[in-house]
Protein backbone atom coordinates (compact mmCIF):
# COMPACT_ATOMS: atom_id res chain seq x y z
CA UNK A 1 0.00 0.00 0.00
CA UNK A 2 1.24 3.48 -0.83
CA UNK A 3 0.87 6.42 1.53
CA UNK A 4 -2.57 8.02 1.76
CA UNK A 5 -3.68 11.57 2.49
CA UNK A 6 -6.82 11.94 4.60
CA UNK A 7 -8.91 15.05 5.17
CA UNK A 8 -10.90 14.39 8.36
CA UNK A 9 -14.52 15.40 8.44
CA UNK A 10 -14.94 18.46 10.63
CA UNK A 11 -11.76 20.15 9.38
CA UNK A 12 -11.64 22.70 6.54
CA UNK A 13 -10.50 21.74 3.04
CA UNK A 14 -6.76 22.49 3.14
CA UNK A 15 -5.96 21.65 -0.49
CA UNK A 16 -6.56 25.21 -1.85
CA UNK A 17 -4.02 26.39 0.73
CA UNK A 18 -1.40 23.88 -0.48
CA UNK A 19 -1.44 21.10 2.09
CA UNK A 20 -3.24 18.02 3.41
CA UNK A 21 -4.22 17.51 7.04
CA UNK A 22 -2.87 13.98 7.52
CA UNK A 23 -0.80 11.32 5.81
CA UNK A 24 -0.78 7.60 6.60
CA UNK A 25 2.46 5.75 5.87
CA UNK A 26 2.44 1.95 5.71
CA UNK A 27 4.59 0.03 8.17
CA UNK A 28 7.87 -1.12 6.69
CA UNK A 29 8.20 1.85 4.31
CA UNK A 30 11.60 3.45 3.83
CA UNK A 31 11.75 7.12 4.72
CA UNK A 32 13.89 9.61 2.81
CA UNK A 33 14.56 12.94 4.50
CA UNK A 34 15.51 15.95 2.41
CA UNK A 35 17.40 18.74 4.14
CA UNK A 36 16.28 22.32 3.74
CA UNK A 37 16.30 23.34 0.09
CA UNK A 38 16.21 26.98 -0.95
CA UNK A 39 15.85 28.78 -4.27
CA UNK A 40 19.37 28.05 -5.48
CA UNK A 41 20.81 26.95 -8.77
CA UNK A 42 23.46 24.21 -9.07
CA UNK A 43 26.14 26.71 -8.02
CA UNK A 44 24.41 27.39 -4.67
CA UNK A 45 23.55 31.00 -5.54
CA UNK A 46 19.97 32.18 -5.13
CA UNK A 47 18.34 32.26 -8.58
CA UNK A 48 16.19 35.35 -8.00
CA UNK A 49 15.29 37.98 -5.43
CA UNK A 50 11.62 37.22 -6.24
CA UNK A 51 9.90 35.27 -3.45
CA UNK A 52 7.65 33.22 -5.77
CA UNK A 53 10.61 32.21 -7.95
CA UNK A 54 12.59 31.12 -4.89
CA UNK A 55 9.64 28.97 -3.78
CA UNK A 56 9.34 27.28 -7.20
CA UNK A 57 13.09 26.67 -7.35
CA UNK A 58 13.19 25.25 -3.82
CA UNK A 59 10.45 22.73 -4.68
CA UNK A 60 12.32 21.89 -7.89
CA UNK A 61 15.44 21.25 -5.79
CA UNK A 62 13.46 18.89 -3.54
CA UNK A 63 12.59 16.92 -6.69
CA UNK A 64 16.23 16.81 -7.74
CA UNK A 65 17.27 15.56 -4.29
CA UNK A 66 14.59 12.86 -4.33
CA UNK A 67 15.60 11.68 -7.79
CA UNK A 68 18.96 10.63 -6.31
CA UNK A 69 16.93 8.03 -4.40
CA UNK A 70 14.77 7.00 -7.35
CA UNK A 71 11.82 8.98 -5.97
CA UNK A 72 9.78 11.96 -7.10
CA UNK A 73 7.61 14.67 -5.60
CA UNK A 74 4.67 12.24 -5.45
CA UNK A 75 6.52 10.33 -2.72
CA UNK A 76 6.57 13.36 -0.38
CA UNK A 77 4.24 13.08 2.62
CA UNK A 78 5.41 16.05 4.67
CA UNK A 79 6.88 19.50 4.08
CA UNK A 80 8.22 21.94 6.60
CA UNK A 81 8.49 25.41 5.08
CA UNK A 82 10.35 28.40 6.47
CA UNK A 83 9.37 31.90 5.31
CA UNK A 84 11.39 35.02 6.10
CA UNK A 85 9.18 37.84 7.41
CA UNK A 86 6.02 35.88 6.71
CA UNK A 87 2.84 37.75 5.85
CA UNK A 88 -0.45 36.69 4.25
CA UNK A 89 0.74 37.83 0.82
CA UNK A 90 3.27 35.00 0.77
CA UNK A 91 0.62 32.27 1.13
CA UNK A 92 -0.64 32.56 -2.46
CA UNK A 93 2.75 31.95 -4.16
CA UNK A 94 3.41 29.00 -1.84
CA UNK A 95 -0.02 27.47 -2.50
CA UNK A 96 0.42 28.01 -6.27
CA UNK A 97 3.82 26.31 -6.27
CA UNK A 98 2.49 23.39 -4.21
CA UNK A 99 -0.46 23.00 -6.60
CA UNK A 100 1.92 23.12 -9.57
CA UNK A 101 4.16 20.45 -8.01
CA UNK A 102 1.58 18.17 -6.35
CA UNK A 103 -1.81 18.99 -7.88
CA UNK A 104 -4.84 17.91 -5.85
CA UNK A 105 -2.83 15.64 -3.51
CA UNK A 106 -0.47 17.97 -1.65
CA UNK A 107 1.60 16.64 1.24
CA UNK A 108 1.08 17.69 4.81
CA UNK A 109 2.81 20.97 5.50
CA UNK A 110 3.75 23.23 8.35
CA UNK A 111 4.71 26.82 7.61
CA UNK A 112 7.06 28.54 10.03
CA UNK A 113 7.74 32.27 9.89
CA UNK A 114 11.34 33.18 10.67
CA UNK A 115 13.39 36.35 10.96
CA UNK A 116 16.12 35.08 8.64
CA UNK A 117 17.63 31.97 7.08
CA UNK A 118 21.20 30.88 6.29
CA UNK A 119 21.99 33.80 3.98
CA UNK A 120 20.46 37.28 3.70
CA UNK A 121 19.10 36.70 0.18
CA UNK A 122 17.35 33.40 1.05
CA UNK A 123 13.63 34.13 1.57
CA UNK A 124 12.22 30.58 1.61
CA UNK A 125 13.42 27.12 2.58
CA UNK A 126 11.68 23.74 2.58
CA UNK A 127 12.55 20.36 4.02
CA UNK A 128 10.71 17.20 2.99
CA UNK A 129 9.91 13.72 4.20
CA UNK A 130 9.31 11.17 1.45
CA UNK A 131 8.23 7.53 1.56
CA UNK A 132 9.55 4.72 -0.59
CA UNK A 133 6.72 2.15 -0.80
Q: pLDDT truncated to tens, each residue of the chain (133 aa)?
A: 689 998 899 999 999 989 999 999 999 999 999 999 999 999 999 999 999 999 999 999 999 999 999 999 999 999 999 999 999 999 999 999 999 999 999 999 999 999 999 999 999 999 999 999 8
Tell me which fold the domain 4-132 belongs to.
60s Ribosomal Protein L30; Chain: A; (3.30.1330)
Residue spans per domain, the chain: 4-132
- Rounded-to-integer distance, Cα 71 and Cα 62, Å: 10
Return the closest-CA partner of residue 129 out of 35, 60, 56: 35
What pLDDT is attached to residue 11?
Answer: 95
- Rounded-to-integer distance, Cα 2 and Cα 126, Å: 23
- E strands present in the chain: 4-6, 22-24, 30-38, 76-84, 108-114, 124-132
In sequence order, the 6+-apart residues with CB closer than 8 A to the CB of 31 are 25, 129, 130, 131, 132
Amino acid sequence: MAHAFVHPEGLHDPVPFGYSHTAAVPAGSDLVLVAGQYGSGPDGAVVSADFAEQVRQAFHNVGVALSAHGLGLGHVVQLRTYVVNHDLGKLAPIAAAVQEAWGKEPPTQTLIGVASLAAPDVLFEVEALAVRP
